[in-house]
Amino acid sequence: MSYGQGGPQSQWDPWKPNSQQPWNSGGDDGTPDWAALAEASETRNKRRKLLFIAGGALATVAIGTAVAMAVVSANSGNDAHGTPTNLPASASVPSGSATPSFAPTSAPPPLDPRDFIASAKKDTAPLSADTLFPGTQLTMGSTVYKKGATADTTNCASAASGDLPKILSANGCTRLIRATYSTGGTAITVGVALFDDQAQATKVRKLAAKKAMVRSLPGKGVKNFCDAAVCLTTTNAVGRYVYFTTGGFLNGKNVTKQDTKVFSVGNDLQQFTFNQIYRRGQAEASAAANR
């Protein structure tokens, strides 16, 4: 039996495996129908081209989607972390994303140490002869002073002489602390009188400028001094404190205006006492600021 004759005829489908190709049924020599084959090949090529175009479109959409997602993700990251810092040269930050501004603030002024030593209500830190005059010696510049005896009393008049007992009692002296220092044949006693407020201390300083002195304090290696001879006395004040000095020679010699050594000793001890009182105010101010 020749191809194309006899038996059931099947329709050829170029995309169906094992389907029978169409041969010319009119010829007896079995020659293929080349025109039909060419037409079928062209049909297959067109269908493949359409599929490739469709596949390319899908790929383009997929790539476009990926780029869009990347852009959205990048923008989201910038929004979450504030203004972007690595912008292209041609880009600009939108006005809405400018750095926020805040109202100016200022730290409170530091507390003034003088406010604390001006009133007994604020000046509440522990105080004694040892805290006011610490250690066993004092160095001022190149001079070393050996500390002698100390004393602390609430009977202010008992530690004063001249007009000072009366002045202290009349103006509310609550305490008088003394310490003696000596160097090179001279000795000086420093007395610190306490009052409730600065106004009282200022008044006492003015009243005690003449004919008033704190008693010298011998002891601990320092013999009596300034109990009969002429000595140097000074009076000053800071805050609610009035501080006095009485100094002279250990051999009983009178102090004159030419005895610059005694004046130097008096200046050193006045400066040291002022520093100690002021440091007290600084410590109290610092403690109050940290509360």
60 token code pair: 């383009």
Provide the whole-model pTM.
0.64
10-residue stretch averages of pLDDT, the chain, 291 residues long: 43 49 48 60 59 44 39 42 45 51 65 94 96 96 96 98 96 98 97 98 94 95 94 96 97 95 94 97 92 80
pLDDT of residue 291: 80
CB 205 within 8 A of CB 237: yes
pLDDT in the model for residue 210: 83
B/e letters for 107-139, b = 16+ CB within 10 Å, e = fewer, are eeeebebebbbbbeebbeeebeeeebbeeeebe
Residues in the chain: 291
Surface-to-core class of residue 176, CB atoms within 10 Å of its CB (0-12 exposed, 13-18 middle, 19+ buried) = buried
**Domain boundaries, given as residue ranges, for the chain:** 9-81, 114-289
- 244 contacts 234 by C-beta, under 8 angstroms: yes
CATH 1.10.1740 at 114-289, yes or no = no
CB 213 within 8 A of CB 229: no
pLDDT of residue 184: 93
> Which residue's structure tokens are 């175009």?
53
Contacting residues for 205 by C-beta, under 8 A, at least 6 apart: 235, 236, 237, 242
How do residues 19-48 score in pLDDT, each as one tens digit? 454 444 444 555 556 566 656 666 666 555
